[in-house]
Amino acid sequence: MEEIVFQDVSQSFQGRTIFAHRSDVVKGGCITAVCGANGSGKSTFLRLCAHLLLPTEGSVSVSLGGEELSREILLRRLSLVTPELRLYPRLTARENLDFFLGLRGITLREADYEALLARVGLRPEALRDTWAASFSTGMCQRLKLACLLASEADFWLLDEPGANLDAEGAAMVLREARQAANAGRLVLLATNDPREEAAADEVISIP
């Protein structure tokens, strides 16, 4: 099972403390929500989990099946979906999927594309001929989630996954998150959405 352990972690930027002396545990097989006001450090918490940031003090260790993962292996085992992640505007949905999944060595079979798009509520026409530049914000978010679903990652780090999604899209995110947790994956959501917080099994609050 996956596990992320924060041991006495403090994080500062340019001498300004964001949070101090945190000892948190995030476990696989359930949904954990990181909650807190704007600027409290939720996205920073996710970046620490992903080893994209080294804590100012303390340690963040990530393990799978009791074995601590190096940064290199972790980056192959996790999928981080954030508002900052940009699709290539002059590629179609299919080409974007090929690019992002290709980085992980994943190739989709012909039937997988449409099944994947249907799963995130995108019409199959979105796959062909249309550049991602013409996608709405919600469509882009859905395509990012399609990359996540096809990524085979054990660690799902989702920063505001329901942002810009309609009610049906927000429900799809929670359905997929639950299914992933039931399959034993670690699902960590940074959120300000009360529905996402309510759907979580564990809540980490950042004051």
Ligand X SMILES: Nc1ncnc2c1ncn2[C@@H]1O[C@H](COP(=O)(O)OP(=O)(O)OP(=O)(O)O)[C@@H](O)[C@H]1O
The binder of ligand X chosen from 1, 13, 102, 195 (CB under 6 A): 13
Q: How far is the CB of 192 from ligand X (least distance, A)?
A: 6
- Find the part of the chain contacting ligand X (CB under 6 A) among 39-47, 66-74, 102-110, 162-170: 39-47
* Closer Cβ to ligand X, 42 or 51, answer by number: 42
Q: From the list Mg ion, ligand X, none, which binds 18 (C-beta under 5 to 8 Å, kind-based)?
A: ligand X
Burial class for 130, CB neighbours closer than 10 Å (0-12, 13-18, 19+) = middle
E strand or H helix that includes residue 71: helix 71-77
Total binding residues toward ligand X, as defined by CB under 6 A: 12
The binder of ligand X chosen from 29, 36, 121, 138 (CB under 6 A): 36
Nearest-CB residue to Mg ion? 43
* Closer Cβ to ligand X, 36 or 138, answer by number: 36
The whole-angstrom separation of Cα 28 and Cα 156 is 10
CA angle, residues 142, 35, 9, in degrees to nearest 5: 115
Distant-in-sequence, close-in-space partners of 173: CB < 8 Å, separation ≥ 6:
145, 158, 161, 162, 165, 196
The whole-angstrom separation of Cα 93 and Cα 113 is 9
The binder of Mg ion chosen from 43, 96, 151, 191 (CB under 5 A): 43
Does position 44 interact with ligand X (CB under 6 A)? The reply is: yes
